[in-house]
Amino acid sequence: MADDPFAPTADPARYVRRDACERALAELIRALGRSRGPVALTGPPGLGKTLLLRVLAERLRGCACPVHLPYPALAASDLCAWALKELRIPGDGDPEAAVVAAARRARRPIVLLVDEASLLPLATARRLAHLCAASRGALRVVAAASDAAGTSAVVAALGPELQEVRFHRPMSPSETACYVRERLARSGAAPALQAPFDPLAVARLHGESGGVPRRLHQLASQMLLGAHPAAGEALSARPPRP
């Protein structure tokens, strides 16, 4: 299939608005404005925190310099070196000092968006919190972490100034239906591919996925390939074409 509308992606162009996502984004932006400490976006896996980080980066442009860091299991100096490379700032010497200095010089805050932050080494988390404080608000950190065994320790290591935003609400049946329609429409899927996603099939997809986007993507992709029972039922329920 040339363009699976339900393929895993963190492309902001595939973002479908819903109340829980918009509230989380608004809370993240408010948290960045309220305090100089790190911000954590936490919640169950599969709800789309990585995509929210990408959307947040788009919304911060113009008032901040967002840098997406997808590989968290590194020392703080390595993460800072990565950030300098993304910002196209020379990083000779100490990358941590260079990031703080660059943030202080910049007219807009530098915001490090750390994905899969449950994998952050505790020493790295503590160091990032220290760098935020040393920059006096010029350097900010937003860490997205799924609920996991090590997440609470990472959140604690990010320091007492941390503000946590919980993102835990799955999609409702009506949101799932809107989500499926939007993803199909934006992909330019042919009518023949969209046809199986009638209200009955979408309701079944919602029930089986629990409204969790990651699981919905898996089931809907299988349905497109004819591997999901809902596809056969939806197609067999339709009258034959003349």
Which of 121, 140, 166 is the C-terminal boundary of a domain?
166
Residues 129 and 187 grouped into a single domain: no
Residues 195 and 152 grouped into a single domain: no
- Model pLDDT for residues 123-179, shown as the tens digit of each residue: 999 999 999 999 999 999 999 999 988 899 999 999 999 999 999 999 999 999 999
Residues 160 and 182 grouped into a single domain: no
- What's the alpha-carbon Rg for the chain, to the nearest Å? 21
What integer pLDDT is reported at residue 24 of this predicted model?
97
CB 121 within 8 A of CB 20: no
Residue 15 CB: number of other CB atoms within 10 A? Answer: 19
Residues 127 and 177 grouped into a single domain: no
Average pLDDT over residues 171-192: 92
User: Could you tell me if residue 2 is inside a domain?
Assistant: no
CATH number at residue 101: 3.40.50.300
Q: Provide the number of structural domains found in the chain.
A: 2
Residues 117 and 229 grouped into a single domain: no
Q: How far apart are CA 118 and CA 72, in angstroms?
A: 8
Residues 137 and 201 grouped into a single domain: no
Q: Whole-model pTM?
A: 0.88
The domain of 36 spans 19-166
User: First vs last Cα of the chain: how many Å apart?
Assistant: 26
- Within the chain, residue ranges assigned H as helices are 19-34, 49-60, 76-87, 95-105, 122-135, 151-157, 173-187, 191-194, 199-209, 213-224, 229-236
Q: At what angle do helices 173-187 and 199-209 cross, to 10 degrees?
A: 110
Residue 105 CB: number of other CB atoms within 10 A? Answer: 10
Residues 222 and 127 grouped into a single domain: no
- Model pLDDT for residues 219-228, shown as the tens digit of each residue: 999 988 875 5
- Give the HSE-up count for residue 59: Cα atoms under 13 Å, Cβ half-sphere: 18
Give the residues across from 64 on adjacent strands: 61
What integer pLDDT is reported at residue 112 of this predicted model?
97
